[in-house]
């Protein structure tokens, strides 16, 4: 029954999508505006039908309907309800269904929020989103159909991949990632819509696109941080980023989207970089499809899957079509869109944004090359290689350091041209911040070159960004007689894009410090302990109190109770565990962490004697690690402040009042 509903919904949505795609050009070419309503109706119908399919899948999962192939593949009667529901995105077919659903949701949102916008940009954008939906619908009735009939019906299933049912973040990271990833389809749709409707020459579409990009970018940033947190909490090695192809796939579009958020400002202010921005928007979308292809087609080794089937070839055709559209669009319009403005001076904010884009693009290409290199090596030389941390770290650290420095210089410089006096006044004071952080780095014991550089540059840029707040707030204080707190809040509210952006910068600074300190000053010990034995790491002493085991419904658990001892008193109790799932040979490690402002104590159970006599424990101390998660939260806060939609009705009156007397009085 569930299978029938799902299959039917996915089949019925196809003609709606096709009708909608045809309706838009017909409506515009023939001047029949009423046909656009048909297209918008198709967008809604597609959303309702894909929602029905997703709902049918969730019902099938919850009721253990093993006649549905996807449920037979990832379901199990012993799996707790929460993990049963979220296994919707735990394997290939379900994740494609979820992709399609998020996309249909975005399409409805785009049409709804822009329904009163004049011109043909929104109808064309709806058409593009429907075209992308068409691709995912074809996948869902073809190679990624989750609703195949399984007969005879199996009594039980294997359950989700053990790694995916061991942590609560499985319920948070993937949806965020999809919201970010799929959300990048919207800027792409606007870009194609702008070119088709002839609006690409105005800068209006860039403003619209930027707001939607900020939203997707915020989701993607949150998703990447949540993914790091997840791997930190579940993999047991105390790390959070391994330059794995799947991680890189999520990071690539983030880099180009970040570049776009900055270069869009140059287009709005100076009408420059119009072709470049088109490239970035289309490139970001292409990278999300490429990332999905890399992680879902089985072309690069990822989580266990035997039957990858033919889905890769479908993706390849789609990537080809996207790139063809991109090339035709950019090459076909580049002469018309060629830049009108030009750089007035090397010392200007535009220049810094250009450099920022250069480094971010180079960063993206480096990660892309590193990710694809194993494939190239096998194709050219027939050897299996893997590209790991050392390559990526060596190649990207200089770019990361440079970007951190630019994050301070950019906000400090004015548009167009900075005079010598400007430069002195703006760029010298933040050196105090650089000095302070350099001293802190040395005191903390950071001895490696890039670690020291990161601390110093973060000090510089944080001081520069803080100073922008301070200058603005000071002006408000003198102008309006506000206290500092009010002045800072109203300042941010007066230009949320700008000051929200600076808050996102601060988030990045926290993340940078957290990563640098936790990786350069990490200290690790491993010991085999009998109950009562102690070990110490980085001056922290831990004692093995007991080793225990218990059976749970879907797994068996072995754990060590460890006490953190400080001056003879027990400060905390940690319980690193190993979870054994019936369908997996390998136990899933479940480390336990005590987080603090200054550092994380991370305990992981590595091995144990079945008779309970000894446990081998890995203890890791990582300074400032928690700052990464905190910084991620700050980045997201910055994105929310910067991207939250402005209310439509703007009152003109208060602005007039605000700019009248107090300022003049003060002057």
Q: Any alpha helices (H) in 527-620, and if so which ranges?
A: none
Q: With 0-12 CB in 10 A as exposed, 13-18 as middle and 19+ as buried, what is 523?
A: middle
In the shown chain, the binding pattern of residues 40 to 79 toward another protein, with x for contact by CB under 8 A and - for none, equals -----------------------------x--xx--x---
Among 33, 301, 321, 385, binds another protein (CB under 8 A): 301
Residue 312 touches another protein, criterion: CB under 8 A: yes
Residue 552 touches another protein, criterion: CB under 8 A: no
Residue 155 touches another protein, criterion: CB under 8 A: yes
Residue 309 touches another protein, criterion: CB under 8 A: no
User: Given the rule CB under 8 A, which of 35-43, 51-59, 299-307, 466-474 is the region that contacts another protein?
Assistant: 299-307
- Nearest CA to 255 out of 428, 371, 90 is that of 371
Residue 293 touches another protein, criterion: CB under 8 A: yes
Could you give the CA distance from residue 589 to residue 665 in angstroms, rounded to a whole number? Answer: 67
Among 1, 331, 439, 666, binds another protein (CB under 8 A): 331
Q: With 0-12 CB in 10 A as exposed, 13-18 as middle and 19+ as buried, what is 129?
A: buried
Cα-based angle 322, 326, 330 (whole degrees, multiple of 5): 175
Is 638:630 a contact under the CB 8 Å cutoff?
no
Could you give the CA distance from residue 136 to residue 98 in angstroms, rounded to a whole number? Answer: 10
User: Given the rule CB under 8 A, which of 176-184, 293-301, 351-359, 606-614 is the region that contacts another protein?
Assistant: 293-301
Query: What's the min distance (Å) between Cβ of 403 and another protein?
Result: 24
Among 154, 435, 531, 662, binds another protein (CB under 8 A): 154
Q: With 0-12 CB in 10 A as exposed, 13-18 as middle and 19+ as buried, what is 567?
A: exposed
Residue 364 touches another protein, criterion: CB under 8 A: no
Is 141:17 a contact under the CB 8 Å cutoff?
no
Query: What's the min distance (Å) between Cβ of 28 and another protein?
Result: 22
Q: Bridge partners of 547?
A: 560
Query: What's the min distance (Å) between Cβ of 544 and another protein?
Result: 26
Is 543:549 a contact under the CB 8 Å cutoff?
no
Catalogue the long-range contacts made by 528-537 (C-beta closer than 8 Å, 24 or more residues apart): 528/607, 528/614, 528/615, 528/616, 528/617, 529/614, 529/615, 529/616, 529/617, 530/613, 530/614, 534/565, 535/617, 535/619, 536/619, 537/601, 537/619, 537/620, 537/621
List binders of another protein among 199-258 (CB under 8 A).
none
Residue 365 touches another protein, criterion: CB under 8 A: no
User: Given the rule CB under 8 A, which of 13-21, 339-347, 370-378, 426-434 is the region that contacts another protein?
Assistant: 370-378
The Cα-based distances of 538 to 383, 453, 541, 627 in angstroms read 42, 24, 8, 19
Query: What's the min distance (Å) between Cβ of 374 and another protein?
Result: 8
Residue 295 touches another protein, criterion: CB under 8 A: no
Residue 369 touches another protein, criterion: CB under 8 A: no
Query: What's the min distance (Å) between Cβ of 155 and another protein?
Result: 6
- Nearest CA to 62 out of 47, 50, 79, 46 is that of 79
Residue 379 touches another protein, criterion: CB under 8 A: yes
Query: What's the min distance (Å) between Cβ of 641 and another protein?
Result: 37
Could you give the CA distance from residue 29 to residue 10 in angstroms, rounded to a whole number? Answer: 30
Catalogue the long-range contacts made by 371-375 (C-beta closer than 8 Å, 24 or more residues apart): 371/245, 371/248, 371/249, 371/252, 371/294, 371/300, 374/300, 375/299, 375/300
Among 150, 355, 427, 658, binds another protein (CB under 8 A): 150
The Cα-based distances of 648 to 40, 451, 633, 645 in angstroms read 22, 46, 28, 9
Query: What's the min distance (Å) between Cβ of 203 and another protein?
Result: 21
Nearer to another protein, 41 or 312 (CB): 312
Residue 313 touches another protein, criterion: CB under 8 A: yes
Query: What's the min distance (Å) between Cβ of 276 and another protein?
Result: 12
Q: With 0-12 CB in 10 A as exposed, 13-18 as middle and 19+ as buried, what is 623?
A: buried
In the shown chain, the binding pattern of residues 571 to 590 toward another protein, with x for contact by CB under 8 A and - for none, equals -----------xxxx-----
- Nearest CA to 363 out of 404, 406, 400 is that of 400
Query: What's the min distance (Å) between Cβ of 333 and another protein?
Result: 8
- Nearest CA to 172 out of 625, 518, 632 is that of 632
Query: What's the min distance (Å) between Cβ of 122 and another protein?
Result: 26
User: Given the rule CB under 8 A, which of 50-58, 116-124, 151-159, 632-640 is the region that contacts another protein?
Assistant: 151-159
Q: Is the peptide bond before 590 cis (omega within 30 degrees of 0)?
A: no
Query: What's the min distance (Å) between Cβ of 558 and another protein?
Result: 15
User: Given the rule CB under 8 A, which of 147-155, 214-222, 353-361, 627-635 is the region that contacts another protein?
Assistant: 147-155
Query: What's the min distance (Å) between Cβ of 49 and another protein?
Result: 27
Residue 334 touches another protein, criterion: CB under 8 A: yes
Nearer to another protein, 313 or 449 (CB): 313
Is 60:88 a contact under the CB 8 Å cutoff?
no
Binding residues for another protein, rule CB under 8 A, total: 45
Query: What's the min distance (Å) between Cβ of 585 and another protein?
Result: 7
User: Given the rule CB under 8 A, which of 27-35, 170-178, 331-339, 502-510 is the region that contacts another protein?
Assistant: 331-339
Kindly list the residues in this chain that would bind another protein in the complex (CB under 8 A).
69, 72-73, 76, 150, 152, 154-158, 293, 297-301, 304-307, 312-313, 316, 319-320, 323, 326-328, 330-332, 334-335, 372, 375-376, 378-379, 384, 582-585
């Amino acid at each position: 029954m569930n299978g029938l509903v799902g299959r039917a919904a996915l089949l019925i949505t196809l003609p709606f999508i096709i009708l909608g795609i045809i309706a838009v050009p017909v409506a515009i070419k023939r001047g029949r505006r009423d046909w656009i309503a048909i297209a918008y109706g198709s967008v809604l119908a597609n959303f309702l039908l894909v929602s029905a399919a997703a709902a049918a899948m969730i019902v099938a999962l919850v009721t253990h309907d093993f006649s549905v192939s996807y449920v037979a593949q990832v379901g199990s009667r012993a799996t707790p309800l929460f993990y049963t529901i979220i296994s919707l995105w735990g394997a290939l077919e379900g994740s494609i269904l979820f992709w399609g659903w998020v996309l249909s949701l975005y399409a409805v949102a785009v049409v709804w929020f822009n329904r009163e916008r004049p011109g043909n940009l929104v109808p064309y954008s709806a058409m593009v989103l429907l075209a992308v939906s068409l691709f995912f619908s074809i996948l869902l009735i073809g190679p990624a159909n989750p609703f195949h009939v399984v007969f005879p019906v199996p009594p039980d299933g294997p359950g989700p991949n053990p790694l995916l049912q061991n942590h609560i973040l499985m319920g948070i990271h993937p949806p965020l990632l999809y919201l970010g990833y799929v959300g990048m389809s919207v800027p792409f749709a606007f870009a194609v819509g702008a070119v088709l409707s002839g609006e690409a020459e105005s800068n209006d579409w860039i403003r619209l696109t930027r707001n939607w990009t900020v939203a997707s970018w915020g989701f993607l940033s949150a998703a990447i941080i949540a993914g790091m947190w997840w791997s930190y909490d579940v993999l047991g090695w105390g790390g959070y980023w391994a330059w794995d192809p799947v991680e890189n796939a999520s990071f690539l579009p983030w880099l180009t989207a970040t570049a776009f958020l900055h270069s869009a400002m140059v287009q709005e202010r100076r009408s420059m970089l119009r072709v470049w921005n088109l490239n970035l928007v289309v490139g970001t979308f292409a990278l999300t499809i490429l990332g999905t292809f890399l992680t879902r087609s089985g072309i690069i080794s990822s989580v266990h899957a035997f039957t990858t089937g033919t889905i890769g070839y479908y993706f390849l055709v789609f990537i080809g079509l996207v790139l063809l559209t991109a090339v035709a669009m950019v090459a076909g319009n580049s002469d018309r869109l060629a830049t009108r403005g030009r750089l007035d001076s090397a010392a200007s904010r535009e220049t810094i944004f250009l450099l920022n884009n250069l480094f971010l693009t180079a960063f993206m290409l480096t990660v892309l090359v590193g990710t694809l290199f194993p494939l190239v090596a096998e194709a050219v030389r027939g050897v299996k290689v893997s590209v790991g941390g050392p390559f990526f770290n060596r190649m990207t650290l200089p770019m990361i350091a440079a970007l951190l420095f630019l994050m301070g210089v950019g906000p400090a410089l004015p548009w167009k041209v900075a005079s010598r006096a400007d430069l002195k006044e703006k760029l010298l004071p933040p050196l105090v911040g650089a000095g302070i952080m350099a001293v802190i780095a040395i005191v903390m014991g950071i001895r490696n070159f890039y670690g020291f550089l990161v601390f110093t540059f973060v000090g510089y840029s944080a001081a520069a960004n803080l100073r922008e707040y301070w200058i603005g707030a000071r002006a408000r204080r003198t102008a309006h007689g506000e206290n500092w707190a009010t002045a800072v809040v109203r300042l941010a509210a007066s230009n949320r894009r700008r000051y929200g952006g600076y808050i996102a910068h601060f988030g990045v600074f926290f993340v940078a410090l957290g990563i640098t300190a936790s990786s350069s000053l990490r200290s690790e010990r491993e010991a085999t302990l009998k109950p009562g034995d102690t070990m110490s790491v980085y001056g922290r002493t831990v004692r093995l109190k007991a080793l225990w085991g218990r059976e749970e419904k879907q797994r068996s658990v072995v754990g060590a109770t460890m006490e953190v001892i400080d001056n003879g008193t027990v400060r905390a109790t940690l319980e690193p565990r190993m979870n054994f799932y019936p369908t997996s040979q390998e136990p899933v490690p479940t480390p336990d962490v005590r987080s603090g402002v200054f550092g994380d104590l991370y305990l992981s159970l590595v091995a144990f004697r079945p008779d309970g006599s000894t446990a081998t424990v890995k203890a890791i101390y990582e300074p400032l690690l928690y700052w990464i998660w905190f910084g991620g939260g700050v980045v997201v806060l910055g994105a929310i402040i910067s991207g939250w939609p402005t209310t439509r009705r703007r009152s003109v009156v208060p602005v007039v009042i605000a700019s009248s007397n107090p300022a003049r009085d003060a002057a």
